[in-house]
Structures are given as C-alpha cells and as structure tokens.
A and B are shown apart, each in its own frame.
Chain A
Amino acid sequence: MASRTLDIPTVIGNRVLDGASHVGRLAYFTLDMIRGLAEVKIWWPRALTEAWNIGVGSLFIVLLISSFAGAVTAFQTGYQFTGNIPYYVVGTLVVSSIVLELGPVLTALILAGRIGARYAAELGTMRVTEQIDALESLGRSPASHLVVPRVVAGLIMIPALTILANLAGILAGWWSVKLVLPVTNADFTYGAQSYWRPWDAWYSLIKSFFFAGSITVIACYMGFSTQQGAEGVGKSTTGAVVTSSVLILLLDTILTRILLNQ
C-alpha cells in the first residue's frame, strides 16, 4: 500500500502556480473583452436584452432584501438609542448606513448569486456543449457575442438597481423606525439632510459600478473556463459566486479606504 504524505511545499507551490495561471488567463480574457468592444453592432442589441433580463428579473428580490435591511437597521438603531441622543440622528444613521454600505454591498451580493451564477452556468454549458467553439469556428468573436453584452448590461443595471435598493432601504427604515421610536417625519428628514453629502451618493454608485464589473467579469471568465461536463458547470457556478462575493467584500474595503478616508 502506497504511503500518503502531505507535501505542504508542493501543495502551496501548486496553489500559487494555479492562482498565477488564473490571473494570466483572466488578463487575456479581459483583453479579449476590450477588443470585443469594437463590434458595437454585435453586442449592443444583446446587451439591451441582457439588461432587461437583469433589471426585471432582479428588481423584486433586490427591493425586498434592501427593504428588510432598512427595517432591521432602523430597529437596531431604536434598540441602541438612549435618551441623550436627539431623535433626528436616526435619520442620519439609517440613510448613511443604507447609502454608504448596505444598499450597494447587499445588492451586489444578491446579484453575485443571481446573475453571477446564471452567467457562469450559461456560459459553462455553452463551453461543454462546444457552442463557444462553434462561434469561434465560424470566425466570430465569443467576446463580442457573449461576454461584452453581459458585462455592459451588468455595468448599467447593477448601479441602477443599487439606486432603487437605496431608496427602498431608506423608505423601509423611515417607516420602521417610527414603530419603535417617537420620531416624526420632520426629525427623520432633518437628520437625513443634516449630514448628507452628495459625494455619498457618488460613492455608492462608484462602488456598485466596481461590484458590477467584478460580478460579471468573474462569472463570464468562470463560465468560459469550464471543463468536464455537468460537474464542471457546477464547479464554475459555485466558483463564480464565491469568488465574486469575496471580491465584492475586498473591493468594498479598498474603495472605502480610498474614497472616504483621504
């Protein structure tokens, strides 16, 4: 019976090589995608269809989750309130929490699951059934036919959904806070406006734009890299959701440091 020992340096070395090869392939993939942008007539109509699918298909779940997030934020604010803090601060806290963090991050995480999984599974299935090879064999660019429309649609619709998620979260928080604290509408709007900076809205949008890029590019890359049939499609789909979720949290930290702590 062969002895099985864990060769840690080899395992680490393989992981590093594997990671480096993914980075290299992702760079080529992104370069291909940028080249594909030149074929506007090919990708634009497909991007509109994809944008419609993302927008209509995700609107309900995004609004639902952001509303709950807004309500929970309001209830927790109410729980932590003591008599020494003026009530209008609740408006500040709810709006800031939603716009700066919960709206863009929750929306991105929901869409990483919903859109990222779908894109990776679709493209992965196309890869294992040779549909991507078929496109190439016809002298057509898979990037302009399959990747660019999905990425562009994500870059348009995910920030748009984030704006709606922010609004839904704020409204739900506003309504909910009145259930637990004696806050008037005037208190809430005063608090919301007092510490409001237009940059906060831009920050929320910029973050969602980066999240959109990471969700769509990673999902398409994972789908394109699929190997070995149905099992491979499953792995790509899981990989796309996990990788883009981690990337969203990483980008969230980096962008917060860069954009808010100058």
Chain B
Amino acid sequence: MIELRGVKKRFGSQVVLDGVDFDVKEGETVALMGPSGTGKSVLLKTIIGLIKPDAGTVVVDEKDVFRLKRKELADLRSHIGYVFQNGALFDSMDVSENIRLGITNGEKYNDLDYVHERVRQCLGLVNLQPEVALKYPAELSGGMRKRVGIARAIAGEPKYLLYDEPTSGLDPVNADIIDELVQRLARELKVTGVMVTHDVRGAFRVANRLALLTGGKIVMQGTPQEFHASQHPKVKEFLERDFDNPSFAA
C-alpha cells in the first residue's frame, strides 16, 4: 500500500504540492490526472524517493521512504517499477542491456541464461519481437521506446508500477496499445499501478480509481462512475472537454 500524507513541495517561489493526501491500495490501478504542470510527476517521484518533499510523509509497504537508509531505499525501489515519460532508456546500451538493468536481483542479473529468457519474456509482454533486443534506443519509434521502458520496469518483477504519462506524445492508436498494455499487466502480473496522465479517456479506460490533482491538492478521488457524476467545479472543468469528445463516450 502507498500512503502520502500532507506532502508539500515547492521549487523556489512556486508551490507545486500543497499538502497532498493520496492512497493506493494493493491490486488497484489509480490514475492521477491533472492539467500540465500541476506536479503529477513530482508526486510520482516522491513515491519512489527521487524527489524529497519539503513536508509530509510518503509510506510504501509501511516504510517511510525518506527515513530509509540508502540500502533499504534501494531494496524498496527494487519492488517498484517506474516508467518514465520518454522512456529514459540508456542510449549507450541496446534494448537487451536496458531491460537487464531492470533485473534487480543480483544473482538473476548475473545469470546470463536467465537474463536472455527474461528479456525475451518482457519484450513479449509488451508486444515486441525478440529481435528488438539488439536495437539501440535511437533506432526505436516513440511508442516502442515507451514499451521498452515498460519492459525494463517489469523485468525485476515489481509489486508496484508507476507510470509517468505513458501515452503522452503518442498517436491515438499507439496510446490505445499502451492503455491496453497497462490493463493487461495489472491483470496478468497482479501489480498495483499508479498512472500519471492528462489523457482523461485513457485514465477512465485503465484505472479502477481516479484522482484529480490541481492547485497543489488532490481535489477528488473516486471511481470512474463517481467522477462522471461529480459536480465539483474543478472536476467538471477538467473533464468537460473530454466528455464533449465523442470518442470519450465510446
């Protein structure tokens, strides 16, 4: 379980998070929505300890992330897969080496037979051919890079998967492929997921629960049905354009 309480973060004079409370229960996929620049990615990075909040607590599996020692934090991170917005693939390594780095167990990492098999499995899970393993990130399309990023994040068999804008910059067809992938991984691997997105349509398709972050606070958390029915002005304002979009209704 992931629990954030009173998380605050500011960069210079700009307040990004202003006392955020946010929970993610085991097994669910939560979509964290909000307009661009409202601190969604910052919130996601606090969960894994990449950004330290100015105040508040971040607890994952009953461990306070910012009170852990270096080794304990590395151990906790080995149970969390993080999918970066633009893949964040290591461009000096081929896809196979990139995915190998996601194998967080030291023994398995050094077992080349296991690595070979795991890379093949992970590529299969994200619908990529085994031949992609030998390519370098620069040789991949944007959608493929995102999928390789997901393959790397799941290589270590994580308990949690954090997705930072997994569909941003993709055309609708590729965005749908990624959305289906997120759903399938939650179903098949039983991982708990947090997906940061401003793609309302995708969020409603993928998530069991939604949260809206705006003005530095979570203004609403609930099921897709509760969001549909909400009369909260911020929620209505955020969803309005997509509700009017015919593809959303479909």
Q: Spell out A's residues near B (CB within 8 Å).
A: 35, 126, 129-131, 133-141
In the bound complex, what is the Cα–Cα distance between A136 and B45 (angstroms)? 11
Interface centre among A126, A130, A137, by most chain B C-beta atoms within 10 angstroms, is A137
Asked if B80 and A130 make an inter-chain contact with CB atoms under 8 angstroms apart, the answer reads: no
Residues of A within 8 A of B101 (CB): 135, 138, 140
| Chain A facing B: main interface SS | helix
Interface flag for B48 (CB, 8 Å): yes
Asked if A138 and B77 make an inter-chain contact with CB atoms under 8 angstroms apart, the answer reads: yes
Interface flag for B112 (CB, 8 Å): no
Asked if B82 and A137 make an inter-chain contact with CB atoms under 8 angstroms apart, the answer reads: yes
Residues of B within 8 A of A135 (CB): 90, 101
- Interface bits B79-91 vs A (CB < 8 Å: 1, else 0): 0101011101111
In the bound complex, what is the Cα–Cα distance between A140 and B70 (angstroms)? 10
- Shortest distance in angstroms between B93's beta carbon and chain A's nearest beta carbon? 10
Residues of B within 8 A of A138 (CB): 77-78, 82, 101-102, 104, 152, 156
Interface flag for B54 (CB, 8 Å): no
Residues of B within 8 A of A136 (CB): 50, 77
Q: Which A residue sits closest to B77, measured CB to CB?
A: A139
In the bound complex, what is the Cα–Cα distance between A35 and B70 (angstroms)? 11
Asked if B90 and A134 make an inter-chain contact with CB atoms under 8 angstroms apart, the answer reads: yes
Residues of A within 8 A of B170 (CB): none
Residues of B within 8 A of A140 (CB): 74, 101
Q: Which B residue sits closest to A35, measured CB to CB?
A: B70
Residues of B within 8 A of A131 (CB): 88-91
Asked if B82 and A129 make an inter-chain contact with CB atoms under 8 angstroms apart, the answer reads: no
Interface flag for B26 (CB, 8 Å): no
Asked if B74 and A139 make an inter-chain contact with CB atoms under 8 angstroms apart, the answer reads: yes
- Shortest distance in angstroms between A14's beta carbon and chain B's nearest beta carbon? 13
- Shortest distance in angstroms between A60's beta carbon and chain B's nearest beta carbon? 23
Q: When the two chains form the complex, which single residue of A35, A126, A129, A139 contacts B86, counting CB atoms closer than 8 Å?
A: A129
- Shortest distance in angstroms between B71's beta carbon and chain A's nearest beta carbon? 9
Interface centre among A35, A126, A133, A139, by most chain B C-beta atoms within 10 angstroms, is A139
The total number of A-B Cβ pairs within 8 Å is: 51
A-contacting residues, B196-243, CB 8 Å: none
Q: When the two chains form the complex, which single residue of B48, B74, B77, B84 contacts A130, counting CB atoms closer than 8 Å?
A: B84
In the bound complex, what is the Cα–Cα distance between A139 and B65 (angstroms)? 13
In the bound complex, what is the Cα–Cα distance between A136 and B88 (angstroms)? 12
Q: Which B residue sits closest to A125, measured CB to CB?
A: B91
- Shortest distance in angstroms between B87's beta carbon and chain A's nearest beta carbon? 9
Q: When the two chains form the complex, which single residue of B45, B80, B91 contacts A133, counting CB atoms closer than 8 Å?
A: B45
Q: When the two chains form the complex, which single residue of B70, B73, B84, B156 contacts A134, counting CB atoms closer than 8 Å?
A: B84
Asked if A130 and B156 make an inter-chain contact with CB atoms under 8 angstroms apart, the answer reads: no
Asked if A134 and B82 make an inter-chain contact with CB atoms under 8 angstroms apart, the answer reads: yes
Asked if A134 and B77 make an inter-chain contact with CB atoms under 8 angstroms apart, the answer reads: no
5 pairs, CB–CB < 8 Å, chain A vs chain B: A129-B88, A129-B91, A130-B86, A134-B89, A138-B156
Interface flag for B139 (CB, 8 Å): no
Asked if B88 and A133 make an inter-chain contact with CB atoms under 8 angstroms apart, the answer reads: yes
Residues of A within 8 A of B86 (CB): 129-130
The 8 closest A-B pairs by CB, nearest first: A139-B77, A134-B88, A139-B74, A137-B82, A130-B88, A139-B78, A130-B84, A131-B88
Tell whether A133 pairs with B50 under 8 Å between CB atoms, given A139-B74, A139-B75, A140-B101: yes
In the bound complex, what is the Cα–Cα distance between A131 and B82 (angstroms)? 12
- Shortest distance in angstroms between B91's beta carbon and chain A's nearest beta carbon? 7
In the bound complex, what is the Cα–Cα distance between A35 and B152 (angstroms)? 26
Tell whether A130 pairs with B85 under 8 Å between CB atoms, given A138-B102, A140-B101: yes
A-contacting residues, B128-176, CB 8 Å: 152, 156
Given contact pairs A129-B88, A135-B90, A140-B101, enumerate 17 new A-B contacts (beta carbons under 8 Å): A35-B70, A129-B91, A130-B85, A131-B91, A133-B45, A133-B50, A133-B88, A134-B84, A134-B88, A134-B89, A136-B77, A137-B48, A138-B78, A138-B82, A138-B152, A138-B156, A139-B104
Asked if A137 and B90 make an inter-chain contact with CB atoms under 8 angstroms apart, the answer reads: no
Residues of B within 8 A of A129 (CB): 86, 88, 91
In the bound complex, what is the Cα–Cα distance between A136 and B70 (angstroms)? 11
In the bound complex, what is the Cα–Cα distance between A139 and B158 (angstroms)? 12
In the bound complex, what is the Cα–Cα distance between A133 and B89 (angstroms)? 11
Residues of A within 8 A of B80 (CB): 137
- Interface bits B16-58 vs A (CB < 8 Å: 1, else 0): 0000000000000000000000000000010010100000000
In the bound complex, what is the Cα–Cα distance between A133 and B76 (angstroms)? 15
- Shortest distance in angstroms between B49's beta carbon and chain A's nearest beta carbon? 8
Residues of B within 8 A of A126 (CB): 90
Residues of A within 8 A of B74 (CB): 139-141
Q: Which A residue sits closest to B74, measured CB to CB?
A: A139
Q: Which B residue sits closest to A141, measured CB to CB?
A: B74
